[in-house]
Structure 1
Amino acid sequence: MNNVKRSEITEVIYDDVMLMTETVEMDRGERVEMMVDIYDSADTVRHHDLRTNERHQPLQHTGSVSVKNRKHRAVEVCLCLVCVLLLTAVMMLCVYFTTERNQLLNHINNLTEERQKILTKYEQILIHNNNLTEERKQIKNKIDKLQRVLCEQDQRADNFKWIYYNFSFYYISSEKKIWGDSRQDCRQRGADLVIIYSKEEQEFLQKVAGNDVFWIGLSKTEKVWKWIDGTTITKGYWRYQYGSSYSDYCALMTSSGWVDKACYFSIKWICKRTILKPLIT
């Protein structure tokens, strides 16, 4: 486009020169005036070219600035995205560590509660153990007292003895009496005819009986066998099936089990004084 304009300007100058040639006969003043016009035209052309160059140069500068602005905007967008990602990561870490902290606190609270429960149970066990120790002392005192009583009785008479087994004392007589008198003798000694509560106790008394027989606290009235405390037997240790035509019968302890016999026979007997009543088995 600049070349076109320059051609036009050149043509204008050429026409002016031709005009100068045709007007040679003009006076000097007129020629000078024409030369001034030519110089003015040349200056006009130069100023036109300068304005044209100045008009195009800002366009080139504007394009470069636009590219730089786009680069700057891209960098700003990337930085914003990085900041958003970092902020999101920080928030997620905060949530994660807060959750972990809460779970840890809950676990610590649970452990504290369990520890408190264990301490409470331990204190209860200690209290129970102390109570057992106190009961043991009381039982020991009772045993010692009974032993002193029995020793005093042994010093007054030589025809009887006491045997200790499982929190009970058993008096084994050496004389013979009917069942009713035997029970009366036991009561005078602070005891009663023996009541058997377990198989282990039965086996113990069978060994004590040996080859002898002894009255025990079991009798039959109106065909029903009852202990001296009024309870009906639920389990017996009979040597053979009992049965008799006599209305009143009493039980004897032997080395092989119980036998029934008329209560008016004179036989040895076993008394029992219990410190703690054992469970019936």
Structure 2
Amino acid sequence: MSDLNRKVRFQTSEKKDGNEDFYDNTDNVMIYDNYQTEGSPAPPKLQDDATKDQQQTSHDKSNWIMERNQLWADNANLTSERDELQSSYSDVKSHNHNLTQKTSQLENENDHLQAVNNNLTKERDELQNHIDKKTLDFEASFETLTEQRDELKKKLTDFVHYSQQEWKYFSGSFYYISSNKKTWHESRTDCLQRGADLVVVNSREEQAFINQYRKSMWIGLTDSEREGTWKWVDGTPLTTSFWYSGEPNEGRNEDCVETMFYRNKHGWNDVICRGKKLWICEKKMFL
């Protein structure tokens, strides 16, 4: 049947163009294996093939419709998913924006807390330095007070000791008046052995205190190192003096001094050091 021509004729009541053999509606399709003149009866075989082709076309159409419907459904699903994703994206974007704001707020709060922490740290360090300084001051004060306490206790102990030994207290010093007589040097040795020295007279009041005992006694004044240069036993030069009239006369190596004219406010007299006399010791003790 190689020389056969096939013709598909679309049976319909309407044509798009009278010169065309193709129509829009494919519901009624007649397929012929040979071209036949209109009105000729179709061979039975051709009718069966046409029926089969029509069925196949109908089947294909159903498949196309199903695929189309499936595509529509898929498209609807994809659209729905897209909308859901878009909504989720908007939610995530909004959430991210909120997180960004919260992060910014937290950073600001962190900066503020850091500043507060820095200030507190600075105040703590300043307070610690202040406490350390006060602690050092307190320790120094405590040490000073301890030393003063110990010194005062020693002074009180000495005060009791010298008072029990019948020493006389006057204006920051204890005084011992001997009951026997010795040379000036022997008298000084005795004072030193007692933890004192021959008296150093610094004021008119102290001289008056000595005069009240109405005795001639060695005092701690000498020019034995250099003639005419009078110095006290503690090494200080003579500044306040109470010489008796005409003294010192520098007679016969008179290098030591006694206070003898007790009836007179000025009762000092220079004499030779080897003479024996009473003496008066002084132990300075300021309470």
| TM-score of the aligned structures, taking structure 1 as reference length | 0.47
| TM-score of the aligned structures, taking structure 2 as reference length | 0.46
